[in-house]
Amino acid sequence: MPQPNPQIDQFLLEGCMRCSLGATPACKVLLWTDILEFLRQLILETELQEERKWGVPTYSLINYFLKFPAHCNLSNYLRSL
């Protein structure tokens, strides 16, 4: 099982920091922390590698035998209510 990435711990504490709302109560990442933590724990039980790319957590399984590895995208666009 892969080890948790400290950069993702920081993301969950501060948000992505790509806008002025980062590290404030209005940060959309911080509104979803409980769900994001739950999903993270599920994903970390697999063999996916946890990284931070483009300011957000990404999870990948590297298959060196495929030139173009198959992929899956699990995403949620957070919007204001």
pLDDT digits (tens, 9 = 90+) for 47-67: 888 889 888 898 887 655 555
Q: What is the pLDDT of residue 81?
A: 40
Q: What is the pLDDT of residue 2?
A: 72
Q: Half-sphere exposure (CA, 13 Å, Cβ side) for 39? A: 14
State the residue range of the domain holding 54. Answer: 1-81
20 vs 50: CA distance, rounded Å: 25
**Per the structure, how many domains does the chain have?**
1
Is the distance from CB of 8 to CB of 54 less than 8 angstroms?
A: no
Taking each helix axis from N to C terminus, what angle separates 6-14 and 33-44, rounded to the nearest 10 degrees?
160
Give this prediction's pTM: 0.75
Residue 42 has pLDDT above 50, yes or no: yes
DSSP-derived letter for residue 8 is: H
